[in-house]
């Protein structure tokens, strides 16, 4: 695996005459499973900072900078932005941190069934399943100026799709408009005018994407598309050679080390390194997986929650499960995909685990791999993201 330069969120020691304090701040934003609300929590003290009313339950995405959280409300056809209240400014030899109260931005984006939200190359692409349209916008403008004026592209037909900004281009899924089920069949590259560039890259059952370093992967039924290139995107497919029957439909990217982690069937995950001659390494799980994340601060680690209530640590270099801790009662994967089940977020030196049936967020200390505390959250805490870090405060 190729190591990348990780962005440092902590400040170096100051040697100039200006005095500064080192400040650490971490916040959790938790979406409710049943109600349209997001709760902001100080992850260090456990204090609930605020609760923001939404139109419907939301999927949550943290901005790359950490200064915003976006709440995608598919059932109510809108997306909201929340200022996280934590902002960093890079000064080369150190980084400054500014901490303020979180706040809901008044302006929203509206459209038919917003779903897939992807930030890449400083832009955001928001795909609307109900129309097949794509909104492109600057997340910073929305959060800092309180207004948003997206440019819009068209994938061709309504479907459960995705779009990814790629410099002056946009990668957009395409579906069979003649089939009433509208199955996804491939990936198109669109230019700034929305015109297709080159061929359609075949990708049956396209679902899931992730970026790691300068690469992007997209899951297909017969392999994984790998996107690279500093100008027009270069797209190739890695067939599932050597793997049993199955496919990857959810992907997360490594941070600080270039790799991808994907699901592969109900009780396996796959570590993907496109640079290797044998790019896939399959990891068997003791039971079915519920959710998984990579660790931004510890590049070789990832965490998987399984239906027996255990949080499991994965060493992606060894390709082995290294630690396990029972955190909740079992959450069976039987039944609908949308049932309330735990979700994970890495928050500094801890993993946060939502427990929607008990109204708790459990904090697991990574070093000792033991529960270090519980945070009560009203309702059914479900989706979760973490933002924060350390910096100098003058």
Centre a 10 Å sphere on the Cβ of residue 338 and count the other Cβ atoms it contains.
9
Output the pLDDT for position 85: 97
Query: Is residue 91 scored above 90 in pLDDT?
Result: no
Query: How many domains are contained in the chain?
Result: 1
Range of the domain at 112: 2-393
- Rg (C-alpha) for the chain, rounded Å, is 20
CATH of the domain at 109: 2.130.10.10
pLDDT at residue 21, as a whole number: 76
What is this structure's pTM?
A: 0.93
The confidence band for 93, taking pLDDT boundaries of 50, 70 and 90, is low
Question: Exposed, middle or buried: residue 72 (CB in 10 Å: 0-12, 13-18, 19+)?
Answer: buried
The tens digit of pLDDT for each residue in 115-171 reads 999 999 889 999 999 999 999 999 999 999 999 999 999 999 999 999 999 999 999
281-284 own/partner pairs: CB under 8 Å, 24+ apart: 281/319, 282/243, 282/244, 283/314, 283/319, 283/320, 283/321
pLDDT score of 92 more than 70:
no
Average pLDDT of the segment spanning 308-313 = 98
State pLDDT tens for residues 157-192: 999 999 999 999 999 999 999 999 999 999 999 999
pLDDT number for residue 5: 39
Give residue-wise pLDDT tens across range 16-48.
445 567 899 999 999 999 999 999 999 999 999
């Amino acid at each position: 695996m190729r190591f990348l330069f990780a962005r440092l969120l902590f400040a170096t020691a100051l040697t100039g005459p200006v005095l500064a304090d080192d400040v650490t701040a971490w916040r959790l934003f938790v979406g409710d499973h049943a109600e349209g609300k997001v709760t902001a929590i100080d992850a260090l003290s456990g204090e609930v900072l605020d609760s923001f009313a939404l139109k419907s339950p939301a999927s949550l995405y943290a901005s790359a900078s950490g200064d915003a959280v976006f709440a995608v409300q598919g059932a109510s056809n809108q997306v909201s932005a929340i200022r996280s209240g934590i902002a960093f400014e890079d000064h080369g030899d150190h980084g400054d941190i500014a901490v303020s109260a979180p706040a809901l931005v008044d302006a929203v984006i509206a459209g038919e069934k917003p779903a897939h939200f992807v930030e890449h190359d400083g832009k955001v692409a928001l795909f609307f399943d109900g129309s097949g349209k794509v909104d492109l916008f600057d997340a910073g403008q929305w959060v800092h100026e309180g207004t948003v004026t997206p440019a819009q592209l068209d994938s061709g037909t309504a479907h459960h799709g995705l779009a990814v900004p790629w410099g002056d281009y946009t990668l957009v899924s395409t579906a069979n408009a003649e089939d009433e089920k509208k199955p996804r069949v491939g990936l198109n590259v669109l230019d700034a005018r929305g015109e297709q560039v080159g061929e359609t890259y075949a990708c049956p059952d396209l679902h899931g994407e992730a970026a790691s370093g300068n690469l992007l992967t997209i899951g297909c039924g017969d392999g994984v598309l790998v996107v690279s290139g500093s100008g027009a995107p270069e797209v190739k497919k890695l067939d599932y050679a050597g793997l049993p029957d199955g496919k990857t439909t959810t992907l997360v990217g490594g941070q600080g080390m270039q790799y991808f982690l994907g699901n592969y069937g109900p009780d396996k995950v796959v570590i993907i390194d496109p640079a290797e001659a044998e790019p896939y390494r399959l990891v068997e799980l003791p039971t079915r997986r519920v959710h998984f994340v990579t660790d931004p601060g510890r590049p070789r680690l990832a965490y998987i929650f399984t239906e027996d209530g255990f949080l499991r640590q994965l060493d992606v270099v060894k390709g082995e499960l290294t630690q396990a801790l029972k955190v909740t009662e079992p959450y069976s994967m039987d039944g609908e995909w949308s049932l309330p089940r735990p979700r994970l977020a890495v928050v500094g030196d801890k993993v946060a685990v939502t427990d929607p049936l008990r109204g708790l967020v459990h904090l697991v200390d990574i070093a000792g791999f033991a529960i270090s505390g519980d945070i009560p959250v009203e309702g059914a805490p479900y989706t979760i993201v973490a933002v924060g870090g350390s910096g100098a405060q003058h």
